Amino acid sequence: MLLPFALLLALAQWQREIQAAAALVVIGFGIFRLLDRRHPRALARIPPSQLGIWSFAIAIAHGAGLMLVPIYLGLCGAAAGGHEAAGPIVEASLGMAMLVSLVHVSAMMIAGGSIAWLVYRYLGLKFLSTGWFNLDASWAVSLILVGAIALAFNLAG
C-alpha cells in the first residue's frame, strides 16, 4: 500500500503540491470520520475465521495507511524526531524498505494478538461487552492534527 506513495518521491518538481494534497486528504478523512460515526455494514459481514482480513479491512476503513503518507512524502523531516530514518531507507533500497515494513507489521500483529489473547483469557468476553469504549473520535482528531501539522510544515517551506 505504501509503495505508490514512496514512488511519489520521484516527482520532485511536484513534491510541495503533492505534500499539501496529501495533508489535505488526511485532514479531510479525519473530518469525515469525526462527522460520520457510523461504521460500514460490509465490515461486519466478514466471518470470524477470516480475522486477518477483517483486521486489515478495519484498519483501512479507519485510515491507518493515511497516517504514514506524510512520512513517506518527506513531510516529517528533521522536526519529526524518530521518523527521519524512513526517508533514507526508502531512498537507499526498496528491498530494505519492504523488509522494515514487514518487520513492523509482524511486530504489530504479535503485539495486538497478544493483547487480544490476554484480554480474552483473563478478562473474558463479558468485559469486552461492558467495558469497551469507542476511539473513533480520538482517531479522527489525530488524523486532523497530523494533517494540519504536515500542512503547516509544507507551507512554512
Say how far apart CA 66 and CA 21 lie, in whole Å. Answer: 12
Q: Residue 80: its pLDDT value, please?
A: 46
Closest CA to 66 of 99, 107, 25, 100: 25
Query: Which grid coordinates are listed for 23?
Result: 495533508
- Domain of residue 131, residue span: 3-156
Place of cell 469504549: 133
List average pLDDT for each run of 10 residues in the chain, which is 157 residues long: 63 75 90 81 69 76 66 54 55 70 85 89 78 73 90 87
Question: Could you give the number of structural domains in the chain?
Answer: 1
Say how far apart CA 32 and CA 27 lie, in whole Å. Answer: 9
Provide the residue type at 146 as one letter: V
